[in-house]
A and B are shown apart, each in its own frame.
Chain A
Amino acid sequence: MTAPQSLQLRCCDASGCRSAGAGALHAALLQARDQLGGAAEGVAIKPVGCLRLCGRGPLVALDRPGSGGIYAGLTPEQAPELLAVAAGLSHGLADQRLGPDHPFFALQQPVVLEGCGRVDPTSIDDALAMGTYGQLQRVLAECTPEQVREQVKRSGLRGRGGAGYPTGLKWDTVALQPAGLRYVVCNADEGDPGAFMDRSVLESDPHRLIEGLAIAAYAVGAQQGYVYVRAEYPLAIERLQLALKQARARGLLGAGIAGSSFNLRLEVRVGAGAYVCGEETALLASIQGQRGTPRPRPPFPAQSGLWGHPTLINNVETLAAIPAIIREGGDWYGAMGTAGSKGTKVFALSGAVANTGLVEVPMGTSLRTVVLTIGGGVPGGEGPDGGVKAVQTGGPSGGCIPAALLDTPVDYESLRQLGSMMGSGGMVVMGESTAMPAVARHFMRFSVAESCGKCVPCRAGTVQLLELLDRFAEHRASLADLERLEQLCGMVQATSLCGLGQAAPNPVLSTLRHFRQEYQAACRAPQLCEPLTSCSLEAKGP
């Protein structure tokens, strides 16, 4: 028997498991420990962030030499049994146990998520014990801003918010502006339907994000920063606010951080429900208390951002990768992934798939590995593609990749070539029962509701596109509609003001490209359409 301190139950206390009853389970575990006494007294019970397999919550991880694992789908009534297992008094609950060799966990490579599910997100002491803020202190004591930026450039890290702009280059652009005020901003306005990576980082390991943001501020010479969080994430806001307060109290934020001459003030700004505020110029307007409408670039925010000053804007996942890059070196990070897409990426896997939750894998991992091996395919699905019809990536700006292309490596360029995009990392699996024109209509409805109204192609064009898609989804389209649909997509793409408008036709274009037969079958006279020999999928009649 090893030291009793090594026995620990880590209870997921992120919003996924909370909604599945994690609160009652945690209370039942504490109560059961008091009642059982004896060996159970030696089991530590700690609330942690996301344990990743969100679809099977509430989850509890057991740390026990030789027989640890994650227990899924627990009820409060099972608390005494779980404690007995933890104390080595029982071998029960075996069918709810998932070992570290379970395919969902075995292929993952946590970098951004390394503390997620391990650290108590409400305790700075726990974060410090895990080494958080260690790199910030080291950088302030030992490195120049240039040296920090050099490591980030060497890492090859690209923006994880969707566009994939090289992070080091962006940092250089801000740092090399004429002397004066600078700002840093963390974009935590995670609005893509199907994306919950940033929420998990904020809820599970907020100190890592603060450390990354502080290192970024030092590297570009900013003394004031904002984290812009969407209002739909109340728990994430609460934990971030608490973490900021703790960091200020320990002298890790504020004036003269960790004994250096570096000052940084960080504030949280809460959104008010506008998807377009994820676009960087709209986000800046919103931070300044205005309507969140984008403006033409240039000037880019790196040159002229908040109140006209150079402003660095990075996504949550990008910044959360920084501490590990500084700790292990840029070359270490750059050795993972593919030539053009370095490092790891966090995906939010959901939809018609057996294992839903957070997945962090090296860039270049195939869709097949993520969806079939890690995700377990469509429940009850058969055949070589596990019942998968398509995988949607990139949210309303992305597209649907058909099952025939599941061997595509997941990186920025490969997804773009297929008419989709990496986006922020949402990955929604669709089974045979999902009709593609209906998927395109679903996204277009979203774009209509979220268009800010500033430019005509997006404001009016998306409405027209939706009306056309209604005809296809309701099987009353004509062949001319198909032509009009494609033309209008091209026009909205080419002439919209911001990235959201330009990308709004992507779900239509990608489903037209890979599932054209479904649009044709939705026409009133499908027999007049040109034959599609290249498609293997069967058309579904009305």
Chain B
Amino acid sequence: MAAEAVERTSRLVRQHRGRADALIEVLHQVQELYGFLPRPALHQVARELQLPLARVYGVASFYHLFRLEPPAAHRCAVCLGTACFVKGGAELAAQLEQRLGVRLDAPAGDGSWALEHVSCLGACGQAPVLVVDGQLAPKLPLDDPRALALRFTALGLDPRP
């Protein structure tokens, strides 16, 4: 994988004709390759785009969606936008912290689950919402604990043993 990923990273840079303004696009694609942005990959991008490492690292660490550490196997994002907040998003986050046994926004979670917050997914009509491994789960029934537990189970959010 490693050698192949290095080769593919070089190809990505060439596809963008080595232009410095493509840095964010390149980082997106490199993150897709590795699942995060490993240090050696940042070095390689800096070298091949002919940018100082500080510039590449500065951009990678500035944007929320770039991850500098390997991600947990599964990710659950709780929306804490305003509509979700009004509809009990914070309560939903607290319940999930308890259920999964991980702290909200702890960087690597417990290895198998990471629980993170997002600020708004634009799915305000369906508040409160979660995103579980990329799938949007709308209208979590906070007023009905049994129905909520069933939804959690259906989403694969099993209680920590």
Contacts and interface: CB of A to CB of B under 8 A. Distances in A.
Interface of A: 15-16, 18-20, 53-55, 57, 190-196, 199, 231-233, 269-275, 286-292, 348, 350-352, 356-357, 392, 395, 426, 428-431, 434, 439, 442-443, 446, 449-450, 452
A54 B126 contact: yes
A289 B125 contact: no
Interface string B118-153: 111111111101000000111100000000000000
Given A192-B120, A439-B85, 10 more contacts: A16-B123, A53-B125, A193-B82, A193-B119, A289-B20, A291-B58, A352-B86, A356-B83, A356-B124, A392-B82
B64 A272 contact: yes
Nearest to B136: A19
A275 to B, nearest CB: 7
Contacts of A16: 123, 125-126, 138
Contacts of A428: 82-83, 86, 124
Nearest to B89: A442
A272 B82 contact: no
Residue from A190, A350, A395, A449 whose CB has the most chain B CB atoms within 10 Å: A350
Contact of B122 (A53, A199, A291, A430): A199
Interface string B43-79: 0000000000001001100111110000000000000
Nearest to A190: B122
B122 A233 contact: yes
B22 interface: yes
A192 B55 CA distance: 28
The 8 closest A-B pairs by CB, nearest first: A54-B125, A272-B63, A273-B64, A350-B124, A193-B81, A196-B122, A273-B65, A193-B120
Contacts of B25: 269-270, 289
Given A273-B65, A274-B63, A289-B59, A15 B123 contact: yes
A20 B27 contact: no
A19 B27 CA distance: 28
Contact of A442 (B23, B85, B124): B85
Residue of A19, A196, A273, A289 with highest tally of chain B CB at under 10 A: A289
12 contacts: A54-B124, A57-B126, A192-B120, A231-B28, A272-B28, A289-B23, A291-B59, A292-B62, A348-B122, A426-B124, A429-B86, A450-B119
Contacts of A273: 63-66
Nearest to A56: B125
A354 to B, nearest CB: 12
Nearest to A53: B125
A275 B119 CA distance: 9
In the complex, which of the residues B25, B64, B65, B120 has the most CB atoms of chain A within 10 Å of its own CB atom? B120
Contacts of B81: 193-194
A19 B123 contact: yes
Contacts of B136: 15, 18-19
Nearest to A286: B24
A274 B65 CA distance: 8
A49 B58 CA distance: 38
A446 B123 contact: no
Interface of B: 19-25, 27-28, 55, 58-59, 62-66, 80-83, 85-87, 118-127, 129, 136-139
A231 B122 contact: no
Given A270-B28, A442-B82, A442-B85, A195 B122 contact: yes
A192 B121 CA distance: 10
Nearest to B49: A289
B125 A57 contact: yes
Contacts of B82: 193-194, 350-351, 392, 395, 426, 428, 442-443
A446 B119 contact: yes
Contacts of B137: 19
Contact of B21 (A193, A287, A449, A452): A287
B149 to A, nearest CB: 20
A16 B105 CA distance: 25
Nearest to B83: A350
Contact of B126 (A20, A190, A287, A289): A20
Contacts of A233: 122
A191 B21 contact: no
A421 to B, nearest CB: 15
A388 B86 CA distance: 12
B118 A232 contact: yes
B136 to A, nearest CB: 4
Contacts of A352: 86-87
A350 B125 contact: yes
Nearest to A431: B86
A322 B139 CA distance: 35
A430 B139 CA distance: 17
A429 B124 CA distance: 11
A195 B25 CA distance: 25
Residue of B66, B85, B137 with highest tally of chain A CB at under 10 A: B85
A449 B116 CA distance: 13
A99 B127 CA distance: 25
Nearest to A232: B121
A449 B66 contact: no
